[in-house]
Structure 1
Amino acid sequence: MEGSEILELYEIQYSDLVLLSSSLSSCSHQEEMIMENLGPTGPGLLAIANVPDVSLLRRKLLHLSRRLSLHRPEDRKRILREHKLGSDVPLKNPDRNASSFAMQLKYAHGPESIETKPSHRVDSHLNLENVNIGSTSDFQDDGFDDLENMFKALGFCMMELGLCLARICDRAIGGNELEQSLLDSCAAKGRLIHYHSMVDSLVLREDGRRKGSSKKHANNHARSEQKLSKGANLDTNGNEVRPCEIHPNLWQQWHYDYGIFTVLTDPMFLLSSQQTTANTEFPISSDQECASPSGHSYLQIFHPNKNKVLMVKSSPESFIVQVGESADILSKGKLRSTLHCVCRPARLENLSRETFVVFLQPAWSKTFSISDYPMEYFKPGCQPLEEAEENNFVDQDQNALTREFQKTVPPLSARLKDGMTFAEFSRETTKQYYGGSGLQSNK
């Protein structure tokens, strides 16, 4: 789908976001544009540009993502432990499509300590002045010494962006449920993600073959080769999922995020190479930062109002904010969640993709009411096939995509019941996507 129509995101400047979030007035043009892009007729996401003092921090942290993913397992375990990071993918699986490193990011001391000034709205004692970012020349070193502080500093910055946006949306919707729901959760989840190039997969497979028993790897070798040649599809939790018939080569399958907002960096792309020398036991893999080969992010969304797939383009070093299903529910449909995936570039086996994501969600005990939620939004994320055919919708590719969504994306109506807590909703969502009988389980 690299030929998909390009969506250039609506972009708001950071300075305007802060001013708008602290303003008592409403109905400004920018507020209208925010709600138009995040609402039921829009794509469900936007970009925030020119956030101060984070450019070098973003670059260094994203560079570390690949290096941490390809580190020797015993060294990686030590680094993760020292920097209070975990992983939500099985890093022992050499056929995984992505490596992910996660941390809970806590708001300062709960809602009572949050002040009006945006910079005080999260725990800011680890500001950029306390982080040894270094310079671009440091990128040749491992540079893991300040990983925890860099992770937190960028994460807290992105939490601030989400809180500012929640306040603006609350004012347009009425009340303050979105912002208060974020604060009541007391924490967000940060995730540093490396989407593997095929070269990375080769390095991991060869490394695993050396460490494992010859019998075990002999039995699994054919399966690994087959997955590698096809580009094994894994969800972000590391579960192997059924290949998408329409888009067989995805880094991440089609899904909805089920929190309130997902804030993510504009991705970085790295070109990698592999060589083996007589003096090394393992292949040497190097990387070089490059521009997106197609000029976009390789994040794809399905735009329900246009009933088509769009490829997302954002300005370099901006932050993308996506609406999750919890915001959709809490806003009574005034914000619409985004069905999305991440596709792998064709014919570029040495290209990897790096990003940093913060998931903003309500408290696990938050109760959802659907009494005022528009029932038509309970449908799957695209026009039903029968309706498309009745309307003489003749685009066969689109009909095929509609069928694919119906087979792989569980509708909200099957996952959400009135009175559910967020914890119950998230468990049911995970079960229906990736559980033993889930639509994207390894059957």
Structure 2
Amino acid sequence: MSSCSSQPQTHVVQTVSISYTQLKDKGADLSAKIEEGFGPNGLGILSIADVPGYSSLRQNLLHLSPRLAGLSDDQKRDLEDPDSRYNFGWSHGKEKLESGKPDTLKGSFYANPVLDKPTSDPALIQRYPSYCGANIWPRSALPELEPAFKPLGKLILEVGMLLAYHCDLYAFQGMKMLEDDGLEQILRRSRCHKGRLLYYFPAKHSSCSQDGESMSSWCGWHTDHGSLTGLTRAMFKKDAVEISCPDNAAGLYVKSRSGQLVKVVYGEDEIAYQIGETTEILSRGRLCATPHCVRAPLGEAAFGVDRSTFALFMQPDCDTTKREYVKSSCRTAFCGNLRRLRINSQFRPCAYLFLLLAGFGNVLSNLFRHFYVSFSVFNLFTAFSNASTVPVIVRDEKLKFPEVVHIHQQLIPSRGSLTFGEYTEKLLDKYYHLKM
């Protein structure tokens, strides 16, 4: 019989928690808790407790996850969308692990919980397929999914908007800021929020591997590239019966600002929120994103155990409509500020440069492609470094980036600036196979 008694001791931290009653009070001063959870010395995560109706919505959706994964191959194939790089509908074995191998450990179902079809503009759909495509629901194979997915996604979005309001009060205190420039309004304008229902398949055999990859055995180390991510606590099942996690060392891990690996826990009836790289940039480092991963349970008790969870990725809109310019003096000023930020470059793939060169849409598209496609960037970076002005593509409802950041130069495209949507398509190339 195998034994995992040699597992290292786990440092466990409870998330900073804010009650829903406090959160919805716009007169409440939550800056201390926002700073504790999201600030430069925080873990980049906090949770909201006592949200009305949340517990039943969570149960309704997560119980459907094994049923979705258990549909026939033909039924799941009908839910796939290669044109969006499997970012709508069902995805399994398309994403790549840290090792570069296809990820067959989990399946995902993606949908926009607010808009079934964010736009009818064919140019935008072609340009930003991972955000502007249409939802694909299994209305015949699993009709319960859509009415369970949408309400939970909308509730997490609504609570996230309230949290974004208080984040703005903390991040921009003492600074001049137009109402439309804050995180809350940026997210309210967006059509591109994306929900992801995840199903981690049961282990086929027990494992006590303690190698370097075991910490991120269910989900590799990464930092969210968007603005704000809402998370349910995971549900574990064995033989279709809900159980507690069979391994105390398994779960969500984050890397603290000091480099310590910490397991983060929060209540079953709490919604956790994590900061993404975009918000870190827009807040000038006052709100910080944090690298995180998911560790699978080990040992005999983990055999046959599956895991279901749901994440809502809240992010700015992806399309852009006009061009502006940032003067070199601003660029120089921000370079000094950047050196004072506590940035772990290993987990800041590309967001800094692209978000400040452009609107949110092009930026993410370019990051996705970076990790699968090689291209020459030296000439553009040289021109960017020497230019007196830098072109910035933004929306009419533009994002107010502080100044230009020039790190991760290898991700700059050979020509032009980027929107967040294009940046998204490039980032997808790191985690998904290229479209044929």
Do the two structures share a fold, i.e. TM-score over 0.5?
yes
Q: Mark the CA change 1:195 to 1:108 in structure 2 (over 3 Å): closer, same or farther.
A: closer
Q: Identity over the aligned pairs, expressed in percent? A: 27
User: What SS does structure 1 have at the residue aligned with 2:109?
Assistant: strand
Letter in 1 for 2:109: F
Query: Which residue does the alignment assign to 1:86?
Result: 89
Equivalent of 2:240 in 275, 281, 287: 287
Q: Mark the CA change 1:16 to 1:433 in structure 2 (over 3 Å): closer, same or farther.
A: farther
| 8 A contact 1:48–1:319 mirrored in 2 | yes
Query: Which residue does the alignment assign to 2:344?
Result: 381
| 8 A contact 1:64–1:143 mirrored in 2 | no
Q: Mark the CA change 1:287 to 1:417 in structure 2 (over 3 Å): closer, same or farther.
A: closer
| 8 A contact 2:225–2:351 mirrored in 1 | no
| 8 A contact 1:267–1:297 mirrored in 2 | no
Equivalent of 1:100 in 108, 114, 117: 108
Distance 1:98 1:109 in 2: 26
Q: What's the CA shift for 1:172?
A: 2.0
Query: Which residue does the alignment assign to 1:159?
Result: 157
Distance 1:244 1:269 in 2: 24
Distance 2:283 2:363 in 1: 16
Distance 1:413 1:363 in 2: 15
User: What SS does structure 2 have at the residue aligned with 1:418?
Assistant: helix
User: What SS does structure 1 have at the residue aligned with 2:59?
Assistant: helix
- Give the alignment of 1:50-89 within 5 angstroms: 50-77=50-77, 86-89=89-92
Distance 2:224 2:79 in 1: 29
Distance 2:13 2:94 in 1: 34
**Deviation per CA, 1:211-233, whole angstroms, max 9, x where unpaired?**
xxxxxxxxxxxxxxxxx9899xx
Letter in 1 for 2:12: I
Tell me, yes or no, if structure 1 residue 424 matches structure 2 residue 362: yes
Q: Mark the CA change 1:355 to 1:105 in structure 2 (over 3 Å): closer, same or farther.
A: same
Query: Which residue does the alignment assign to 2:251?
Result: 298
Query: Which residue does the alignment assign to 1:250?
Result: 217
Q: What's the CA shift for 1:350?
A: 1.7
Q: What's the CA shift for 1:246?
A: 4.9
TM-score computed with the length of structure 1 as normaliser: 0.64
**Deviation per CA, 1:357-416, whole angstroms, max 9, x where unpaired?**
10000111479987647313777527xxxxxxxxxxxxxxxxxxxxxxx4xx46448854
Q: What's the CA shift for 1:321?
A: 0.1
Equivalent of 2:12 in 6, 16, 31: 6
Query: Which residue does the alignment assign to 1:125?
Result: none
Distance 1:182 1:170 in 2: 12
Query: Which residue does the alignment assign to 2:231?
Result: 264
User: What SS does structure 1 have at the residue aligned with 2:269?
Assistant: coil
Distance 2:246 2:16 in 1: 22
Root-mean-square deviation over aligned CA pairs: 3.8
Q: Mark the CA change 1:39 to 1:294 in structure 2 (over 3 Å): closer, same or farther.
A: same
Structure 2: runs of 5+ lacking an equivalent: 1-6, 82-86, 96-100, 119-139, 376-428
| 8 A contact 2:89–2:109 mirrored in 1 | yes
Tell me, yes or no, if structure 1 residue 342 matches structure 2 residue 345: no
| 8 A contact 1:295–1:313 mirrored in 2 | no
Distance 2:66 2:348 in 1: 32
Q: Mark the CA change 1:42 to 1:67 in structure 2 (over 3 Å): closer, same or farther.
A: same
Q: What's the CA shift for 1:49?
A: 1.3
Distance 1:151 1:258 in 2: 23
90-99 or 69-78, which deviates more: 90-99
Letter in 1 for 2:284: K
| 8 A contact 1:333–1:377 mirrored in 2 | no
Query: Which residue does the alignment assign to 2:378?
Result: none
Q: What's the CA shift for 1:73?
A: 1.7
Q: What's the CA shift for 1:37?
A: 1.3
Q: Mark the CA change 1:327 to 1:249 in structure 2 (over 3 Å): closer, same or farther.
A: closer
| 8 A contact 2:93–2:102 mirrored in 1 | no
**Deviation per CA, 1:296-348, whole angstroms, max 9, x where unpaired?**
770110011x3201001111221110000010011111100111111111122
Distance 1:95 1:359 in 2: 20
**Deviation per CA, 1:29-65, whole angstroms, max 9, x where unpaired?**
x332122210111101101112112222211211111
Tell me, yes or no, if structure 1 residue 358 matches structure 2 residue 363: no
Letter in 2 for 1:4: T
Distance 1:309 1:94 in 2: 26
Q: Mark the CA change 1:229 to 1:414 in structure 2 (over 3 Å): closer, same or farther.
A: farther
| 8 A contact 1:7–1:313 mirrored in 2 | yes
| 8 A contact 2:62–2:308 mirrored in 1 | yes
Query: Which residue does the alignment assign to 1:17?
Result: 23
Distance 1:95 1:246 in 2: 13
420-429 or 329-338, which deviates more: 420-429
Q: Mark the CA change 1:411 to 1:71 in structure 2 (over 3 Å): closer, same or farther.
A: closer
Structure 1: runs of 5+ lacking an equivalent: 111-141, 203-227, 232-242, 272-285, 383-405
Letter in 1 for 2:166: I
- Give the alignment of 1:160-175 within 5 angstroms: 160-174=158-172, 175=177
| 8 A contact 1:299–1:341 mirrored in 2 | yes
Letter in 2 for 1:53: G
Q: Provide the aligned length of Structure 1 versus Structure 2.
A: 325
User: What SS does structure 1 have at the residue aligned with 2:226?
Assistant: coil
Letter in 1 for 2:64: L
Q: What's the CA shift for 1:425?
A: 2.1
| 8 A contact 2:216–2:294 mirrored in 1 | no
User: What SS does structure 2 have at the residue aligned with 1:270?
Assistant: strand
Q: What's the CA shift for 1:353?
A: 1.4
Distance 1:361 1:62 in 2: 23
**Deviation per CA, 1:79-117, whole angstroms, max 9, x where unpaired?**
789xx961244479996111100111337999xxxxxxx
Letter in 2 for 1:270: K
Query: Which residue does the alignment assign to 1:185?
Result: 190
Distance 1:441 1:157 in 2: 29
Q: Mark the CA change 1:90 to 1:313 in structure 2 (over 3 Å): closer, same or farther.
A: same
| 8 A contact 1:261–1:324 mirrored in 2 | yes
Q: Mark the CA change 1:144 to 1:3 in structure 2 (over 3 Å): closer, same or farther.
A: farther
Q: Mark the CA change 1:171 to 1:99 in structure 2 (over 3 Å): closer, same or farther.
A: same
Q: Mark the CA change 1:249 to 1:424 in structure 2 (over 3 Å): closer, same or farther.
A: same
